[in-house]
Amino acid sequence: MLRASSVPPTNESSIGFWTSTTPTKSHTGWCRTTSRPDAGRSESRPVGSPRQCSSRKSTCRAFDFEANPNIDPAVVHTLAKGEWVHKGQPLCLIGDSGTGKSHLLIALSTEAAMAGYRVKYTLATQLANELVEAADELPLAKTIARYGLVDLLCIDELGYMQLDRRGAELLFQVLTEREEKASVAIASNESFGGWTKTFTDPRLCAAIVDRLTFGGTILETGTDSYRLAQTTKKQTS
C-alpha cells in the first residue's frame, strides 16, 4: 500500500504530502499519508498490492521468534498495533549483528506507515551527515523542523560508527525537537554503556540516552546471531 520513492520533500509545504516508501537497508525512505483536498484532512491511501507495499522479509510475521528466544512475540505484536507511535513514545532495539533488531525496526516502521502514520527511516550516519550539510548551507532550522513533523523517526545502525561532535550535537537537536511529542525508534549494536564510542562527549551521550529511553520500550535482541546460526545449519545439513 506504499509506493516506492527515494525523493524526500523539498520544502515545509510538502509536509504530510510525501511519497510513500518501504524502508530498506539500502536507502532512506519517507512515508506519508495522502490528503483529500475536499475533506481538508489526511488519510492513508493504498497503492499497489500488499506484496508491493512491504518488504517480503522484514515483517513482524516473518520474524523467527523461535530462532531468537530473547524477543517476546507478545511485546512485538503489541508494538505492531502502533499505540506507542500515537503516544509519541520512543523505542530502542539493542543487540549484536544478526539478532534481528534492524528487521524489527523496519517491520514496525512499515506497520506504522500502513496504519497511516508519517514515517522516516534513515541510517544514523546519513542523518548526521545531512544535518551537518544543512548547517553549512544555512537551512538547518528547516531541516530539523522537517524531522520534527513526522510521526515516527527510525534511526538504524546507531553505534556502528563514531559521530563527530558537530554531527552528534545536531542529532541531539533533532531528538530534542521530537521529545515527548513524536516517536523515535533506534536500532543499535551497542549497549547504552558503549554509546560513548559513538558520542564522545559523556554529557551529550547521557542526554541522548535520556531522550531515547524516557517513557519508552527497550528490546534487547541478545548477542547470538541467528542469521549466522541459520547459515551454518544450512551448510552442515
Question: What is the pLDDT, as a whole number, of residue 116?
Answer: 94
Using CB atoms within 10 A of its CB, is residue 7 exposed (0-12), middle (13-18) or buried (19+)?
exposed
pLDDT at 74 over 60: yes
Cα(171)–Cα(23) distance, rounded to whole angstroms? 20
Q: Are 171 and 209 in contact (CB under 8 A)?
A: no
Question: What is the pLDDT, as a whole number, of residue 233?
Answer: 62
3-state class (DSSP) for residue 188: strand
What are the φ and ψ backbone dihedral angles of 45, each rounded to 5 degrees? -125, 120
Question: Distance of CA 93 to CAs 37, 102, 103, 162, 216, Å?
Answer: 38, 8, 10, 19, 11
What's the mean per-residue pLDDT of the chain? Answer: 77
pLDDT-based confidence at residue 201 (cuts at 50, 70, 90): very high
**Please, which residues have CB within 8 angstroms of residue 193's CB and are 6 or more apart in sequence?**
none
pLDDT tens digits, residue range 1-59?
333 233 333 333 222 323 334 444 434 454 544 333 333 333 333 333 233 334 446 78
Q: What is the DSSP letter of 66?
A: T
Which of 142-146, 188-192, 233-237 has the weakest average pLDDT?
233-237
C-alpha cell at 203: 554529557
Question: What is the pLDDT, as a whole number, of residue 139?
Answer: 80
Of the candidate CATH numbers 3.30.800.10, 1.10.3720.10, 3.50.50.60, 3.40.50.300, the domain formed by 54-62+70-231 belongs to: 3.40.50.300
Question: What is the pLDDT, as a whole number, of residue 67?
Answer: 83
Q: 49-76 b/e with 16+ CB inside 10 Å = b?
A: eeeebbbeebbbeebeeebbeebeeeeb
pLDDT tens digits, residue range 137-171?
768 888 888 888 899 999 999 988 889 999 999 99
Question: What is the pLDDT, as a whole number, of residue 63?
Answer: 82
The angle formed by the CA atoms of residues 49, 53 and 59, to the nearest 5 degrees, is 120
Q: Where are the domains of the chain?
A: 54-62+70-231
Question: What is the pLDDT, as a whole number, of residue 159?
Answer: 87
pLDDT-based confidence at residue 230 (cuts at 50, 70, 90): low
